[in-house]
Amino acid sequence: MRDETKMDVYTSGVIGAEYDAGMKQLMSNKEILIPILQMTVPEFKTCSQEEILQCLDISSITKDDFVSDIPDIEKDLRLTKEDSELSSFVEKLVRFDIRFKIINPKLSTEKIRVNLHIDMEAQKSYRPSNPSYPILKRAVYYVARDLSSQLSMITQTTDYSKLEKCYSIWICAENVPKKLQNTLTEYSFSKKDIIGIADEPEEDYDLLTVVIIRQGKETEESGIFDYLKGLFTSDINRIQKYSHIKWSEPFKKEAGKMTGFGDMIYERGIRTGEQSGIQKGIQKGIQQGRHEGMILGALMSGKTPEEVSKMLNLPLEEIKKVQEQQMTVNK
């Protein structure tokens, strides 16, 4: 990957809104989605990533963009939001982050295709404000709306047998209570016999599942949290450990532009009172070049040259050179 592309990784997400758009853009690519599906959706736990890729609905792949200044790439790289907005005359507008269909390998046959409907939400804060509410309740509402959207106006001839299972997967990155950090929880609709035993097919009632992924400050060295840490800290090598599908050159450029390292520095700066220093570093970086600017911004946030070298995957000598240049300028 070219140095210029690597630097895009670290400069893309300094402002919160740009970060949100960038993460949605990144996560709408199959190279990023498939490892998440493999690690969170039971229907795919025994599937290889290539098998999951074969389950993707070709008709759901498009070059549609999120609202941002990010250019389009090859149309076979990004999943459409199927319909990213749902509205009705009596219900609240729902705007999904990423929404798509994929074949359910457990129920489909050569002659019969059964889909899973998946909504994936990149939720920055686990504790929303203005107004405050439980993320779990919102997730349940979203998955219920996703299910109801499969049927048009309800009439006497409505065919409820056509309903297919829906997943709503929420990835929560910030403000997670300590006791909930590094937890992955599945909430599903299940059967409980009270009197007698009702022998009904599971696929007739197993239609709604919510998955909540709550990240923590310290993460395991393998698995879903390690993978997500790679996404949120723009660690390309870490991401590639889990994404086994061959990355095309256009997608490598996409990944370089979308990951959120800059935003993570920005957030940490706010929390530690170093925002001013980081912003000055970024402004000076604009004058000195993006490459040196992000090194300088990281150094001014209080990190050592060794930490910056590891974080940006750049030679320690290069980091020290920028540091020495800045010390000379400040004399």
CB 214 within 8 A of CB 126: yes
Predicted TM-score (pTM) of this structure: 0.67
Q: How crowded is residue 210: how many other Cβ atoms within 10 Å of its Cβ? A: 25
The dihedral built from the CA positions of residue 315, 320, 321 and 322, taken in this order, carries a sign that is positive
| pLDDT at residue number 77 | 44
Distance CA 166, CA 183 (A): 21
34: β partners:
none
Give me the residue label for tokens 């599906």.
37
Reading the block at residue 275, the tokens are 């925002």
Between CA 51 and CA 214 the distance in angstroms is: 27
Summarize pLDDT for 3-45 with one digit per residue, the tens. Answer: 443 443 444 333 455 556 666 777 778 888 999 999 999 999 9
Closest residue by Cα to residue 117 from 65, 76, 154, 81: 81
**Would you say how long the chain is, in residues?**
331
Per-residue pLDDT of the chain (331 residues; tens, 9 = 90+): 434 434 434 443 334 555 566 667 777 788 889 999 999 999 999 999 999 999 987 566 433 333 223 333 333 444 555 655 555 545 556 667 888 999 999 999 888 899 999 999 988 889 988 789 999 999 999 999 999 988 876 777 888 999 999 999 999 988 999 999 999 999 999 999 999 999 999 999 999 999 999 998 887 777 999 999 888 777 788 888 898 888 777 777 666 655 444 444 445 444 544 444 555 555 554 444 556 767 877 777 677 888 888 777 788 888 888 888 777 765 5
Rounded CA separation 209/186 (Å): 7
Do the beta carbons of residue 67 and residue 275 sit within 8 Å?
Answer: no
CB atoms near residue 63 (< 10 Å):
12
Q: What local confidence, expressed as pLDDT, does residue 290 receive? A: 54
CB count, 10 Å around CB of 299? 21
User: Is the Cβ–Cβ distance between 22 and 13 less than 8 Å?
Assistant: yes
**Tokens linked to 209:** 């599942």
Question: What is the number of other CB atoms lying within 10 angstroms of the CB of residue 138?
Answer: 17
